[in-house]
Structure formats: structure tokens, C-alpha cells
Amino acid sequence: MDSLPPLAPGTELELTPDRLAFGGPALARVGGLVVFVDRALPGQRLKVQITRRRRRYLEARIVQVLQQSPHYSPPFCRHFGVCGGCSWQHLAYPEQVRWKGRHLEEVLAHLGRVAPREFLPPVPSPRERCYRNKMTFAFAPGGPGEGRFILGLHRGDHPQEIFALEECHLLGPAALELVLQLREICRRLGLGAYDPRTGQGMLHSLVVREGQRTGQTLLHLITAGKAPPQGLTQLAEELRRHAPRLTTLAHSHHPGRPPARILFGPGCLEEELAGLRLCISPDSFLQPNTEAAELLYNAIAERGEFTGGEVVWDLYCGAGGIALALAPQARQVVGFELSSRAVADARANARRNRVDDCRFVAGDLARTLGAALREPSLPRPQVIIADPPRAGLHPAVVALLQELAPRRLILVSCHPATLARDLERLSGPYEVETAQAFDFFPHTPHLEALVTLRRR
């Protein structure tokens, strides 16, 4: 290693990454230091340039690919390399799935010091493209030749910047066409993007939801600025006239995001999942990959070892998908959720699907769980399922889980690091039985995890 040049920013050198780090970049070692190379693949021989030096690691960018990885797959989107989304698009899909399973094992071991009795093989997404039922796009003031705004996604190299979207292979073609159609109508009406530097303009972001099995679509436009949004009525009329595939148009204001108001349509999106027909409001949560979610629901039902006599509590239940799917296998299911709008959806979904043995509780989870713990008329659960947001379980919720002491815990997580932390907190009274990665997000480093625990 004495022949190596000083590893300062700007230095060029050759290296071969041998693994993918959790989060996406490839990893190599040079002169006793770890080098992270964005968008590189294991097995590539690369000429790279050091871009940043830290005490324990270096960051580098690719200058030239000298020899290609055997697992390389040609990117299929024109925005690859600019978009911050599909950073693994150039990696063959079976390798993506394999690395996600490996990353789950490593994160649980290193961050949570957790060794499940069994790691089950990672589950691939049934669809590799057009798999998302929900996406969020951002507006930004346009540059020279771009008009009053651009509509797109965040850049990978400069996440605070937005690039103009022309294609995307995560949404279905009909949903993407609606997004581009709304963009053109907004331009025709002279609407502008909100600029936080000046406070001018109004267009902030756009959420599109698609019922992949119902053909329904919902657009949720978010505006910003102090002035009342102008042109919404005309925009709604134009969309109603020229976008027959659009089922519901909703609007809300940023910041604060009060409940969305419906400009036209029934106000929710219907989707079929696990034998259920679910109605999802603009602000309610549903797993963003419908077909992968169905595989996850089936795995939860299998690993719950239900006999039909259990009381099941479903924490962070959203619009009730998991709770309602499990209801036929349990005596009673109780769902807990912070969002009152989502709980209203869950109750309506129970009625729609004629499920009588489900009830749903709205409110802060630590408070509602504590109240349920003291309620003598509510049977204690034998199984608890929790699907928290990225921040994981609040410490107060962990303490309540330990007090409730169900015989089984089933945790679903979209963030392995916080999952590892929560498992470490629960590993005293509980043994971690199985862990499994599910790929909800092909061509990205993100993964969903399912972990089962049994009371010791």
C-alpha cells in the first residue's frame, strides 16, 4: 500500500468493490480505508475519483468502468443516473433480492445484536416494473426554457433539486399519463410552482394513487403559499373534461397538511387485496406495492399460527388491510391507528367487506394502548402485529408490549435499523424466531422486513 497516492479529494485510483453497503453504494477497501462508490457494483473494475475524505472512510465517484460486473443489467429508464430513485436499476434483479436478504441479516446482527433462529429466503416482488400504487412528485420553479415550473422527482446527486420527469417505470402507464396530463393543464392555465425564496407560486407536490386491480386513479394536489390557491376550480373542470380515467381529485395545503378536501369524485381509491375490496382516502396508508403486500399478508397469517380463538391487536393499522385480512382466522381483531381519517377508512372497509369481528381505535398509540390495557371489557391479545413508520416503535409502546405480554409478536418494518433497535429492546422477554426480507421496492436499496417473536 506504500505505492498508493495520498488519498485526498481529487485523487484517482483503480479499485474493485466486493459488496454493496446497506443503503445502496458499493464498498471497496484501499490502504486500510473503506471506500464508498455511488452507483458502483460488486465485481466492476473501476477508475474512481475521491470526492470526500472522512476519518474512517472515503467517498468516490466513477470515472470509468474498466471491466463490467457479471451481474450488470442495462438500465431501462432515461433518467437513470440523475433520478434519486432507482439506484440499483443496473443490477440484475435476482442479485438485488439476494443483497436485500443479506443486508437484513447484517443490520439485525450489527445494530441490534439479534440472531433469529432462522432467516428465511428473501421474497421478490411479483412485478419488477409498474409495481407502485402510490408515488409523490414535486414541483419546482422552472429554469430557462422550462416555463413557470417543472414537475418531477428529486435528483440523486443533489436531493434538494428537482429534475423534469419524462418517464417513470414504477407507476403504471395510465397513472403516469395522468401525471403528465395534469402538468400540461397546469401550464396551460398559467399556474406556477411555489418558490420558498419569494413566497410566490402555489404548486408544491402531487401524489398519485392507482388501484392496480380496479383501474381507479386518485390525484392529490398539494399547494403552498400565503395567498389562496387560484385556478383550482378551473383545473378540476379541465381534468374532469379531459382525463376520464381520473376517479378522484383531492387538494390540501402545505405546511400542516389538513385533511384533503375533495374537488370531485368519491373521495377514495378502491383496491382489491387479499380477497378484500379496500377504500383508501388520500391521506390513508396502504402498502405501496399491492402484489407484494398480498404475499406479506399471507406470511403474517401463516406465522401467526392462528387457531381461530385468538384476540389479535394490529398496531399502526392504517386503513385496516392486515386486520381485515386476518379477521377470518381469529376470534377478534382490534386495530390501533393515530390517523382518525385512516380509522374511518378501516371501519368503512370492515362494513364494505362484511367483517363483524374487527374494531378500530383512533389516537396516539401509547395513550390508546395504555387505556386498552386498563379496560377490563377488552380481552388481552394473544398475538400483536405492529407495522410502525420508519421511526419504529416508541419506547412507551415497547414498554406496553412487554406489559401486555402476548405469546407472539409479529413486526413489519420498512427500516431495518430501527427494527434492529426495537428487537434488541424486546429480546429479553421474547425470542426472535424468524426474519425475512420482502422486496416492495425493486431497483432501489429499500426493503420490507417481517420478523416473528415468541414469548420465552
Can you say whether the dihedral through the CA atoms of 130, 136, 141, 147 is positive or negative?
positive
Element (H, E) at 26: strand 26-30
Per the annotation, the verdict on 414 as an active-site residue is: yes
At 151, phi and psi to the nearest 5?
Answer: -125, 125
Contact 17, 28 (CB under 8 A): yes
Domain match, 48 and 121 both: no
pLDDT of residue 33: 86
Residue 188 lies in a domain: yes
Question: Residue 283 and residue 181: Cα distance in Å, rounded?
Answer: 22
Pairwise CA distance, residues 333 & 232, whole Å = 41
Q: What is the average pLDDT value for the chain, to the nearest integer?
A: 93
Q: Which of 305, 335, 248, 346 lies closest to 452 in space, CA to CA?
A: 305
- Are residues 381 and 409 located together in one domain of the fold? yes
Same domain, 121 and 138: no
Whether 7 is in a domain gets the answer: no
Distance CA 147, CA 19 (A): 43
Q: Does 84 reside within a domain?
A: no
Residues contacting residue 375 through CB under 8 Å, at least 6 positions apart = none
- Round to whole Å and give the CA distance between 30 and 56: 11
The sheet that has 217-223: what strands, in order across it?
A: 162-164, 149-154, 134-141, 203-210, 217-223, 248-253, 261-264
Q: Which residues contact 354 (CB under 8 A, 6 or more apart)?
A: none
Cβ atoms < 10 Å from Cβ of 289: 25
CA dihedral 155, 160, 164, 167 (to 10 degrees): 40
* CATH number for position 52: 2.40.50.140
CB 18 within 8 A of CB 28: yes
291 and 405 inside one domain: yes
DSSP-assigned states of every residue in 1-63: -TTSPP--TT-EEEE---EEPTTS-EEEEETTEEEEETT--TT-EEEEEEEEE-SSEEEEEEE
Predicted pLDDT of residue 349: 97
Domain co-membership, 38 together with 122: no
**What residue numbers bound the domain in which 426 lies?**
95-127+281-455
247 phi/psi in degrees, rounded to 5: -90, -45
Ranges under pLDDT 50 in the chain: 1-2
| CB-based contact 76:82 (threshold 8 Å) | no
Q: What is the pLDDT of residues 135-153, one digit of tens each?
A: 999 999 987 766 789 999 9
For the entire predicted model, the pTM comes to: 0.93
118 located within any domain: yes
Write out the three cell numbers for 412. Answer: 413489519
**322 and 226 assigned to the same domain:** no
CATH code assigned at 439: 3.40.50.150
Residue 89 lies in a domain: no
For residue 1, the model assigns a pLDDT of 43
Choosing from 271, 293, 325, the residue where a domain stops is 271
* Shared domain check, 358 and 267: no
Q: Does residue 158 belong to any structural domain of this protein? A: yes
Same domain, yes or no, for 325 and 237?
Answer: no
Among 271, 293, 320, the domain boundary falls at: 271
Our CA dihedral for 407, 413, 417, 422, rounded to 10 degrees, sits at: -30
Say if residue 141 is in the same domain as residue 122. Answer: no
CATH code, domain carrying 263: 2.40.50.1070
Asked, for residue 78, whether it belongs to a domain, the answer is: no
Cα–Cα distances in Å, from 116 out to 228, 241, 284, 391, 414? 54, 56, 32, 22, 18
122 close to 106: Cβ distance less than 8 angstroms: no
- Shared domain for 103 and 35, answered yes or no, is no
User: Cell numbers of 68, please?
Assistant: 463490467
- Please identify which of the residues 77, 83, 279, 414 carries the catalytic annotation: 414
Number of domains in the chain: 3
| pLDDT confidence of residue 145 | 66
Residues 229 and 171 in one domain: yes
Q: Are residues 394 and 301 in the same domain?
A: yes
